Amino acid sequence: MAAMTLDPSLSLQMTAKESQQRVVIEEIDGLIRVYKDGQVERLDIVPHVTCSLAPELRVTSSDLIIDKYTNIWARLYVPNCHEKLPLMVYFHGGGFCVGSASWSCYHEFLAKLSAKANCAILSVNYRLAPENPLPAAYEDGVKTLVWLRQQFLTCDNEFLTSKCNFSSIFLAGDSAGANIAYNVAIRLSGLANLRPLDLKGLILIQPFFGGESRTQSEKHMVQPPRSALTLAASDTYWRLSLPDRANRDHPWCNPVAKGAAKLDLPHVPTMVSISDMDILKDRNLEFCAAMASAGKKVEHVVYKGVGHAFQILNKSSISQTRLNELICHIKSFISR
């Protein structure tokens, strides 16, 4: 499969006059507007970048097509080395509704993570809600794993197959991407044969879960101006991404809700990264406790003094310190 650079401008662009003439039914300020006529406008709050990287980083990056019919693609990061490396399949955040593998913040974060953790990373650009509500993103994740297996069997991408250890696969993501990684892992457990792909673990960074009943951190956590995730934004994301007539106790949103299916994950280790100042803090701790009670191998780390998406959106000194800690924890988890 030939590498290529893809045009990231996939969202509908409107003139100011056109926007004013339409009725907005859902909006997250600065990110997305959904109009009564069904059209969706995504605002370019984060720059899109090509796959190029500074040579001194010693990481090679390229864009790959997963499915041209549904426009699923991925950005591959491979450190310059001679041995085959573990492969992390990564899903970006954005409430299932915004975000891209070509966003500059993800490009910078994943290139650094690849170099420091010494692993290859395949960052998936999945379909977004509300045009493609859940389970579209989960289906795209499974399709990516099936595509990876096909690459190994056919050797269509010699670079990919020569650099990646397909028997050491990790699913990872942040926020909505962590939710996707979790749900993709559940779906993979139902597939008959993915060999030689072997899932070794899950890395869930501030996983985006919710519920009808509010947690203490959702009710009382004070968020700074322009926070990456407020309670109002969280509710809007879920309205836009869940199936019609589903509420926030749907198992895709709340995997520990009463009556939800069992935490039917493969028996692989799971690492959960939790931010101390995130409205999702209590929800994430509740998830970890339920995983442990179900007999799953789960560990979590709480990063003090930082909020949601600190690893990609905050350049403060404490965020950079916590970012380096996160990368060290991920490297240790992968290396076991």
Catalytic (active-site) positions: 175
Taking the C-alpha atoms of residue 61 and residue 58, their distance in angstroms, rounded to an integer, is: 10
**Whole-number Cα distances in Å, 236 to 29, 185, 294:** 11, 25, 31
Helix (H) or strand (E) holding 300: strand 298-303
Pairing assessment for the beta strands 199-205 and 164-174 based on DSSP bridges: parallel
Taking the C-alpha atoms of residue 84 and residue 119, their distance in angstroms, rounded to an integer, is: 9
Taking the C-alpha atoms of residue 247 and residue 251, their distance in angstroms, rounded to an integer, is: 10
Residue 56: count of CB within 10 angstroms of its CB = 7
Q: Which strands form 32-35's sheet, in the order they lie side by side? A: 24-28, 32-35, 40-42
Contacts of 226 (CB under 8 A, 6+ apart): none
Burial of residue 297 (number of CB atoms within 10 Å: 0-12, 13-18, 19+): middle
Pairing assessment for the beta strands 85-91 and 59-67 based on DSSP bridges: unpaired
Is there a contact between 100 and 48 (Cβ–Cβ < 8 Å)? yes
Is there a contact between 232 and 159 (Cβ–Cβ < 8 Å)? no
Taking the C-alpha atoms of residue 229 and residue 88, their distance in angstroms, rounded to an integer, is: 25
Distance of CA 99 to the CA centre of its chain: 9
User: In the beta sheet, which residues pair with residue 126?
Assistant: none
